[in-house]
A = this chain, B = another copy of it.
């Protein structure tokens, strides 16, 4: 058979490195589409002039363009037979992605554990996104539940130890970045790093009702080919599941209203796609400041933010038994760089 049936749980070997297919050159077109698909307004990713004003050579592609592009390449090898996308950890953005860069992805299998049912197993991979110079621009750990082909196969258990949060000392400030002449008027809000307090919660006010065409355009743009996003025949209810990363980008873009100066994502500490999102849902977002840290660059601070997307009003996250309430779509924990 010449087509790709996807890997099953017992097809992964601990320590194996998978070179994912289809490198991708990203540029002005992907930038424009990102702005059409999401209400993105971060000045650093919108304007070459603004980016030069903070020490970069030009406006890089949005951090999430890098993430989605790198992630999309892993789908045929990692999640084609996945039952669930369980989590993220130890994500770090190491270099900006510039228009014209070509990205490819590699994943190392770092953990394997059969589930109690015997029908599935959890696979942990550490994925790296590399540019045309071989520099790692992004890395993260992701774990998914994958079907077994045959129940009786026994796979040795290996569960990786993962940091619950990326240490602020490990955050990489892009070369040259300097917020000392940051233009707060043009950025859209006056709030500096010092204006945010740990525990502060921000309701991002705006909301977007999602259409089928939009999430499919986005998901194809990242060359993510998981059938559930495109084919109404994949689910019994005839609905197309929206790619979780689409909700991440929607929520991040909505968070501009209150976090306009949380310019660059530099780490992904954790993330859960709490409930599925479908066309017709109206997505809102709120953020909580979880922590604050300095960086080696005096004008640049870091905020650790929880970003929550819901399809109802902002409110409680979890029900009595600790489970996410049905209106919660996303619970993401990340570090962003903010002017001090």
Contact = CB atoms under 8 A, between A and B. Distances in A.
Contacts of A50: 23, 102
A296 interface: no
Interface stretch (A168-176, A182-190, A298-306): A182-190
Contacts of A204: 3
A11 to B, nearest CB: 16
Contacts of A221: 32, 35-36
Contact of A23 (B49, B208, B217): B49
Which of A187, A188, A204 has the most chain B CB within a 10 Å cutoff? A188
B22 A223 contact: no
A206 B211 CA distance: 21
Given A209-B240, A231-B282, A25 B48 contact: yes
Contacts of A316: none
Interface stretch (A38-46, A112-120, A150-158, A322-330): A38-46
Interface string A211-250: 1111011101101010100111100000010000000000
Nearest to A203: B3
Contact of A132 (B19, B29, B49, B208): B49
A196 to B, nearest CB: 8
Contacts of A28: 27-29, 32
Interface string A253-295: 0000111100000000000000000000010000000000000
A197 to B, nearest CB: 11
B185 A206 contact: no
Contacts of A100: 48
Given A2-B258, A231-B209, A29 B33 contact: yes
Contacts of A19: 185-186
A186 B106 CA distance: 11
A7 interface: no
A4 B43 contact: no
A263 to B, nearest CB: 12
A30 B260 CA distance: 23
